[in-house]
Chain A
């Protein structure tokens, strides 16, 4: 599966997208869900929580294991995807569609410090060896 070029990525396998309204949508990558396998539980941060970059803020659990999700950039949580509570498998079906939460970034410019699709691809390949 190809990595969307309109998103930014972290080495810890989150994706982030800057929306037209200035918020940033966050999810985990297709590669991350593939490593974890069938998702059975998602715990999102509460709306209003302020996150610093790299902070543990959510958990995804597959049948196999639990995995922390980290804030790709600093900001305040302004929305969470409630659908994932009932249907965590949405992440397996479409990791880039099944967003987890939205942030109001402290500084949207922080996104420039994240990986682009090519750099993330290279990171995934380097981890495979």
Chain B
């Protein structure tokens, strides 16, 4: 097996006795003792995640906006103010999802993208191919020189201000889904937990120092385990599980991120308009006892489906899932999930399941 890649915070994780696992070829902390405690910390106080395995990519040059309007399914024209962020999928011609990403608008000649670790290489290759076709003058620069730390939770802001003196003035007024530059740091009010918080990109060599400052401000390190239960409760898709190259955003609960109204053409648009829509992504709440897991079969009155992400929800103290099932099944309907040799009852519910610490189901 190839050697695992390490983030600039690897030594900090070891210091904190993290349990390290292989995640998309990276050696990452799954937890630092208790995944449940880490989950609750983020819902009630503040936790931090090393997300340096994700890749920031800078798109620079004249015509960056026009290129991105062509490259992704959401409409980059929604980005009109410096620092504004947009969540979107990048599709291939067949309408399948190459990756999901966030795009930050900094200037007309500088947009920053953040893509998934497991997709980084293919994304770069894909973007370069599209660039060569539509905008050969643009520079596409992967920023492996940056580390990324997500500070999340209701107390994320106050603890960040404590850890980073002087940052309050610039970051207090920030609205969700915006970013500002604070010295060498790129601070975004974004996250993957359903809580307030920040995702901060900074030079790799400064990462351990900043992590330590956050620790001293009372921010608890949290692993990818808690990150997964938090994002599932928040109803956020995980690439590779809830959608991939074989599924379109429309059958992945991501229609809200696809702009089909404007005249704009983008890669994959024709397919989205042409393909019949037979499947939908829904939320499930397990009514019987047990735990929903990815790949379990779902039986509905309209036919079979499959759970794409499932877990015990620590906030709800129940099990929830995202599942891809036939269209025609509606909110409130009961379905059956095959768990080992049994069929357990689950209800189709709206998601997110949890937002800002509060249960929504």
Known contacts A38-B34, A40-B312; is-contact A63 B289 (Cβ 8 Å) = no
A49-77: CB near B (< 8 Å → 1, else 0) gives 00000000001010110100000000000
Q: Which of B36, B289, B340 contacts A38 (CB 8 A)?
A: B36
Q: Considering the chains assembled together, what is the distance between the CA atoms of A37 and B34 in angstroms? A: 7
Q: Which chain B positions have C-beta within 8 A of A63?
A: 35-36, 39, 225, 229, 311-312, 314
User: Which of A41, A43, A59 makes the CB contact (< 8 A) with B312?
Assistant: A41
Instruction: Provide the A73-104 mask, 1 if CB < 8 A to any CB of B, else 0.
Output: 00000000000010001000000000000000
A64 in contact with B35 given A37-B225, A59-B340 (CB within 8 Å) = yes
Shortest A62–chain B CB gap in Å is 8
| CA A46 to CA B34, docked complex, whole Å | 30
**What residues of chain B have their CB less than 8 Å away from a CB belonging to chain A?**
30-31, 34-36, 39, 225, 229, 289-291, 293, 311-312, 314, 340
* A43 near B290: Cβ-Cβ < 8 Å: yes
A-B contact count, CB below 8 Å?
Answer: 34
In the assembly, what is the distance between CA of A63 and CA of B317, in Å? 11
Q: Would you give the shortest CB distance from A82 to chain B, in whole angstroms?
A: 13
CA distance A59 to B342 in the complex (A): 13
Interface size class of A (residues with CB under 8 A): 10 to 19
What are 21 A-B contacts defined by CB distance under 8 Å?
Answer: A37-B31, A37-B35, A37-B225, A38-B34, A38-B35, A40-B312, A41-B289, A41-B291, A43-B290, A59-B340, A61-B290, A61-B291, A61-B312, A63-B35, A63-B36, A63-B39, A63-B229, A63-B312, A64-B35, A66-B291, A89-B36
Give 15 new A-B contacts, CB below 8 A, not counting A37-B35, A64-B35, A85-B289. A37-B31, A37-B34, A38-B34, A38-B36, A40-B291, A41-B289, A59-B340, A61-B312, A63-B35, A63-B36, A63-B225, A63-B229, A63-B311, A63-B314, A64-B30
Task: Select from chain A the residue with minimum beta-carbon distance to B229.
Answer: A63
Q: Which residue of A lies closest to B293 (CB)?
A: A66
Residues of chain A with a CB closer than 8 A to B34's CB? 37-38
- Tell me the smallest distance from the CB of A3 to a CB of chain B, in Å: 20
A residues less than 8 Å from B39 (CB atoms): 63
Instruction: Report B-chain residues with C-beta under 8 Å of the C-beta of A38.
Output: 34-36
Contacts of B36 in A (CB 8 A): 38, 63, 89
A99, chain B: closest CB distance, angstroms: 20
Q: How far is the CB of B310 from chain A (nearest CB, A)?
A: 11
Closest CB in chain B relative to A100 CB, distance in Å: 16
Q: List the B side residues contacting A43 at CB < 8 Å.
A: 289-290
Least distance between A17 CB and chain B CB atoms (Å): 27
What 7 A-B pairs are tightest by C-beta distance, nearest first?
A40-B312, A38-B36, A61-B291, A63-B35, A41-B291, A63-B312, A38-B35
User: What is the CA–CA distance of A64 and B21 in the complex, to the nearest angstrom?
Assistant: 13
In the bound complex, CA of A37 to CA of B30 (Å):
10
CA distance A85 to B290 in the complex (A): 11
Q: Specify which chain A residues have a CB less than 8 angstroms from the CB of B340 in the assembled complex.
A: 59
Q: Closest CB-CB distance, A57 to chain B, in whole Å?
A: 12
CA A85 to CA B314, docked complex, whole Å: 16
Contacts of B229 in A (CB 8 A): 63
CA distance A105 to B293 in the complex (A): 34
Chain B residue nearest in CB terms to A34: B19
Chain B proximity of A23: nearest CB distance (Å): 26
Q: Could you say which residues of chain A place their CB within 8 Å of the CB of B30?
A: 64
Scan A29-50; emit 1 where CB is below 8 A from any B CB, else 0: 0000000011011010000000
**Which B residues touch A37, using CB under 8 A?**
31, 34-35, 225
